[in-house]
């Protein structure tokens, strides 16, 4: 898939997700205005929608229509947004800017920011449950995602991150484990949920899991590289912000060149894991793997 076709397809999927999220926000009529404003502020702050898109396309590998999976896929963006709001709090990473805008707590205060995160996490479950798909499959997919974002996954990873921050020292194994929990498992399970909800066979779910695991790893390596090489204006946050906080990153441990080599190794393994699939959707997923290492924000 050439870059122009990929960017166009990516934009189309993103628009579907944005439109669904817009409808979701419109449906929130009976909630306090401050809460809705705070949820909307972060949910519509220009995210790339990578997790919902991965979920949708992995579903589309096995089906013709994507309409049924939209609530589930978009629920992943609610979870991602909740995690960003809480991570940015002064009690955690203490970030003032994200995507070029003041962080949620800078605008709404810490209390409302915590509650907006809580509301998004809780409502993500409501969206998942609302899917017009087989209840057994929804339940299986929810088990997958909940394990990935709970204490054994994302939340656990954030605790390890808090504990490692400021030490300026960790092993490659510790760094890999932390990122696997904090970012990797979520991206992996976004892909896997698409395949589960399409009722695809276990052997193919395993291929998709391998793909998701590898792009999850590449995603974090690329993030660490962008923290150094990224353009502040495009990123919407200051360069070296992770390193200045005393966070361990791939470039600080391995150097930039070795980090890039490792990132591309993951991309190639991801592409190879789904080589059995031949559809345009499979080509799109392969292009996503490359995009993850070449993106500028």
How far apart are the C-alpha atoms of 48 and 198, rounded to whole Å?
Answer: 24
Which among 33-41, 95-103, 254-262, 280-288 is the span making contact with a copy of itself, rule CB under 8 A? 33-41
Write each residue from 154 to 193 as x if it is in contact with a copy of itself (CB under 8 A), else as -, in one continuous string: -xx-xxx-xx------------------------------
Nearer to a copy of itself, 73 or 115 (CB): 115
Which DSSP string corresponds to 174-212?
Answer: HHHHHHIIIIIHHHHHHHHHHHHHTT--HHHHHHHHHHH
Write each residue from 237 to 256 as x if it is in contact with a copy of itself (CB under 8 A), else as -, in one continuous string: --------------------
For the chain, the first-to-last Cα distance in angstroms comes to 21
Backbone angles phi, psi at 110, to 5 degrees: -60, -40
Of 1, 6, 34, 210, the residue at the interface with a copy of itself (CB under 8 A) is 34
Are the CB atoms for 279 and 57 separated by under 8 Å?
no
Write each residue from 139 to 158 as x if it is in contact with a copy of itself (CB under 8 A), else as -, in one continuous string: x--xx--xx-xxxx--xx-x
If one asks whether residue 102 binds a copy of itself (CB under 8 A), the answer comes out as no
> What tokens appear for 1 in the block?
């898939």
Which among 56-64, 81-89, 227-235, 252-260 is the span making contact with a copy of itself, rule CB under 8 A? 81-89
If one asks whether residue 132 binds a copy of itself (CB under 8 A), the answer comes out as no
151 CB burial (10 A radius; 0-12, 13-18, 19+) = exposed
Nearer to a copy of itself, 75 or 292 (CB): 75
Nearer to a copy of itself, 34 or 63 (CB): 34
Of 8, 19, 23, 31, the residue at the interface with a copy of itself (CB under 8 A) is 31
Of 66, 92, 228, 262, the residue at the interface with a copy of itself (CB under 8 A) is 92
If one asks whether residue 121 binds a copy of itself (CB under 8 A), the answer comes out as yes
Alpha helices in the chain (DSSP H): 3-27, 33-43, 50-60, 70-88, 104-108, 110-129, 135-149, 154-164, 172-179, 185-197, 202-229, 232-235, 241-244, 250-254, 256-273, 280-294
236 CB burial (10 A radius; 0-12, 13-18, 19+) = middle
- Residues at the interface with a copy of itself (CB under 8 A): 28, 30-32, 34-36, 39, 82, 86, 89-92, 109-115, 117-119, 121-123, 125-126, 129-130, 135-136, 138-139, 142-143, 146-147, 149-152, 155-156, 158-160, 162-163
């Amino acid at each position: 898939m050439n870059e122009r076709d990929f960017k166009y397809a990516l934009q189309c999927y993103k628009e579907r997700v944005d439109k669904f999220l817009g409808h979701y926000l419109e449906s929130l009529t009976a909630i306090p205005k401050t809460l809705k404003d705070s949820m909307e502020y972060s949910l519509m702050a220009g995210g790339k929608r990578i997790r919902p898109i991965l979920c949708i396309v992995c579903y589309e590998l096995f089906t013709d229509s994507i309409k049924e999976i939209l609530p589930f896929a978009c629920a992943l963006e609610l979870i991602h947004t909740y995690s960003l709001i809480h991570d940015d709090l002064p009690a955690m990473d203490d970030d003032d800017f994200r995507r070029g805008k003041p962080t949620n707590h800078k605008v709404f205060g810490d209390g409302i920011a915590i509650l907006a995160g809580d509301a998004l996490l809780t409502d993500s479950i409501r969206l998942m449950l609302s899917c017009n798909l087989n209840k057994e499959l929804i339940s299986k997919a929810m088990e997958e995602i909940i394990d990935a974002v709970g204490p054994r996954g994302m939340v656990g990873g954030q605790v390890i991150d808090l504990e490692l921050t400021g030490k300026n020292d960790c092993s490659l194994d510790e760094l890999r484990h932390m990122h696997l929990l904090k970012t990797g498992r979520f991206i992996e399970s976004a892909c896997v949920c698409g395949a589960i909800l399409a009722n695809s066979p276990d052997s193919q779910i395993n291929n998709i899991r391998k793909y998701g695991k590898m792009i999850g790893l590449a995603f974090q390596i690329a993030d660490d590289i962008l923290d150094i090489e990224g353009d502040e204006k495009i990123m919407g946050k200051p360069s070296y912000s992770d390193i200045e906080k005393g966070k361990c990153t791939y470039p600080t441990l391995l150097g930039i060149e070795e980090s890039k080599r490792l990132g591309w190794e993951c991309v190639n393994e991801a592409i190879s894991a789904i080589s059995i699939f031949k559809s345009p959707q499979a080509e799109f997923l392969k292009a996503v793997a490359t995009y993850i290492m070449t993106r500028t924000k």
